């Protein structure tokens, strides 16, 4: 019962994360060259999704097919989870049948409980607390465009949310600095801030966070599940839009990143998202390559 899981970036060592990203680069090159790399024949991946997804679902399903395996997608309607079958029982049963389980859940605690009772690797495909798969793709993209990231600086502007938390862990694991600017009531998790204190600085002024940064990153102001807070949040985040003017405070060759979906005119100006510094489409594509490398690492 000691399967390796990937619930946060702290579940892997820094060396393992680098190994996964190096393999992601190789798999991307191979795919573009038309080479077939299918190290996971007959492996089966179950995907339990409690929330919507475009990128994560499509990249995992496509990736597993390219690796030679198969996948099954389970929405809340498709299992007994929503009708009261315990998470623990579901984990025990499913992990006797499939080889890996990918979960997008409302609560991080649910994924932890699932993993504790699973015989096979569990991958976090986004929870309220973390989005580690996103960061594999983001760091792959950053390296692709600008080389090694150690010693560099990223600026997070906006909500101290799940994606922000994974950027914080990435700062520690890949040894770069992360300056975070959030409105006062929207700070990242206090415990995680302490755990990442060597590599993360929290402030409230977006201009200060972005000054001299190599990368500027943001995300929606209202994550999935926070739809009812939208009006309140729009007010609280006034002044936190990543505009061309804000980008001008970063390094001249700074990249703009966003996990998507993006809301033009809210967290980011359209001209930044669609502009020359934006690498958001590469980030989205790299979800495919990075997660293929992750699946291979856990299963091959």
Residue 260 in the binding site for ligand CP (CB under 6 A): yes
Residue among 80, 77, 112 at smallest CA distance from 94:
80
Smallest distance, Å, CB 253 to ligand NVA? Answer: 26
Interior angle at CA 28, CA 23 and CA 29, nearest 5:
100
Q: Is the CB of residue 133 less than 8 Å from the CB of residue 160?
A: no
Q: Please identify which residue in 100, 196, 259, 269 interacts with ligand NVA, judged by CB under 6 A.
A: 259
| Cα 95 to Cα 89: distance, rounded to the nearest angstrom | 10
Q: Please identify which residue in 224, 236, 282, 285 interacts with ligand NVA, judged by CB under 6 A.
A: 224
Smallest distance, Å, CB 224 to ligand NVA? Answer: 4
Residue 116 interacts, among ligand NVA, ligand CP, none and using kind-specific CB cut-offs from 5 to 8 Å, with none
User: Could you report how far apart the first and last alpha carbons of the chain are, in Å?
Assistant: 18
Residue 94 interacts, among ligand NVA, ligand CP, none and using kind-specific CB cut-offs from 5 to 8 Å, with none
Which 8-state DSSP code applies to residue 82? G
Residue 241 in the binding site for ligand CP (CB under 6 A): no
CA distances to 47, 55, 79, 153, 168 from 129, in Å: 19, 18, 24, 23, 12
Residue closest to ligand CP when measured from CB atoms: 56
Residue 50 interacts, among ligand NVA, ligand CP, none and using kind-specific CB cut-offs from 5 to 8 Å, with none
Residue 67 in the binding site for ligand NVA (CB under 6 A): no
Question: Which residue in the list 164, 258, 259, 291 is annotated as catalytic?
Answer: 259
Known catalytic residues?
A: 104, 131, 134, 219, 259, 287
């Amino acid at each position: 019962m000691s399967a390796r899981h990937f619930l946060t970036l702290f579940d892997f060592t820094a060396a393992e994360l680098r190994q996964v990203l190096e393999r992601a680069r190789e798999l991307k090159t191979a795919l573009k060259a038309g080479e077939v790399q299918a190290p996971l024949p007959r492996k089966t991946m179950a995907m339990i999704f409690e929330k919507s997804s475009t990128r994560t679902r499509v990249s995992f399903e496509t990736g597993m097919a390219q690796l030679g395996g198969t996948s099954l997608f389970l929405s809340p309607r498709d299992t007994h989870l929503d009708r009261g079958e315990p998470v623990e029982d579901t984990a025990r049963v499913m992990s006797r049948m499939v080889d890996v389980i990918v979960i997008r859940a409302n609560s991080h605690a649910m994924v932890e409980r699932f993993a504790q009772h699973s015989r096979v690797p569990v991958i976090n495909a986004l929870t309220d607390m973390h989005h580690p798969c996103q960061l594999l793709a983001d760091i792959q993209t950053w390296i692709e465009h600008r080389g090694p990231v150690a010693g560099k600086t990223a600026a997070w502007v906006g909500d101290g949310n799940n994606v922000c938390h994974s950027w914080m862990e990435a700062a520690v694991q890949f040894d770069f600095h992360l300056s975070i600017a959030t409105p006062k009531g929207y700070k990242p998790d206090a415990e995680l801030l302490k755990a990442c204190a060597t590599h993360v600085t929290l402030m409230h002024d977006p201009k200060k966070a972005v000054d001299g940064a190599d990368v500027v990153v943001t995300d929606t102001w209202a994550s999935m599940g926070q739809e009812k807070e939208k009006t309140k949040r729009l007010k609280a985040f006034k002044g936190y839009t990543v505009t061309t003017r804000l980008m001008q405070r970063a390094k001249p060759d700074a990249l703009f990143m966003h996990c998507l979906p993006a809301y033009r005119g809210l967290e980011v100006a359209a001209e930044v998202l669609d502009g020359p510094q934006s690498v958001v489409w590469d980030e989205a594509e790299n979800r495919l390559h990075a997660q293929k490398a992750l699946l291979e690492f856990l299963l091959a």
